[in-house]
Amino acid sequence: MPAYSSPIRRLIRSRGALLAGVLGSVAALLVTTAGPAAAAEPPAPGKPVQPGQAWMGAGTRIEQGPASSADGGMSTMDTSGVQGIDVSHWQGAINWGSVKAAGIDFAYMKATEGTSFKDSRFSANYTGSYNAGLIRGAYHFARPDASNGATQANYFASSGGGWSRDGKTLPGVLDIEHNPSGSMCYGLSTTQMRTWVNDFYNTYKARTTRDVVIYTTASWWNTCTGNWTGMSTKSPLWVAHWGTTSPNIPSGFPTWTIWQYSATGRVSGVSGDVDRNKFNGTMTRLLALANNTA
């Protein structure tokens, strides 16, 4: 016959087991959030990227070849000047305190894509980077075959791409590059593409008061806009050019404001590869860009 167990003893045991379970769950949570989570693997080179799953550089690698650990004329360990990274959900959970301690001054994170996709890690990245003391901003991955530019600019501005003069928020970015899911120029003529970009710019400025930053490559811009110079005096340029000591600049732009020089950088706090960027100026100038006092 089993030994007698009073209701009081059974209650104490059950509460003790419950408490142990809760403490164990908390400990496990602390372990899993202490460092960066393992990064997910994006589609392999040559595989189409499904709508909603693109990232900054997804089309660039079609033009410039799959990134390798040796890409970039600058070493991925070079921390000279004002350094930044750009991220999306593909990087997984990020320890932003470690990123800041590693000498990274600014970060851009994917907010939206097309007309209905919001990056699953955007809120965590946007808040985490801010709390760690980085100057940060949001980018929109353009899908010109999905809608007109105004529609996507409105979606971006309403879904994380806004701006405020708080010393920590950079203007939003229009990421427009080689289509990672189909034809290079999304089926648009050069005239149609110019209209698309201009509509996005005008709508974003009306919503935020800021000039949108344009991320692109010289090859894509010159081909798909027909060497258009119409944005050269309006939008800061973020140029993507890996494996060189000096990036090629798209037609019309006088110089680059941000240069994505590597797609295979390594930074403490981020699991796996991460895009590395350099700002063309001092920290004072970066703050001026954030505060619209440039």
175 as an active site residue: the answer is: yes
Reading phi first (left if > 0) and then psi (alpha if -120 to 50, else beta), residue 160 is in left
The active-site residue, picked from 71, 105, 113, 177, is 177
The active-site residue, picked from 86, 113, 119, 275, is 86
The active-site residue, picked from 105, 119, 175, 275, is 175
177 as an active site residue: the answer is: yes
As annotated, the active-site residues are 86, 175, 177
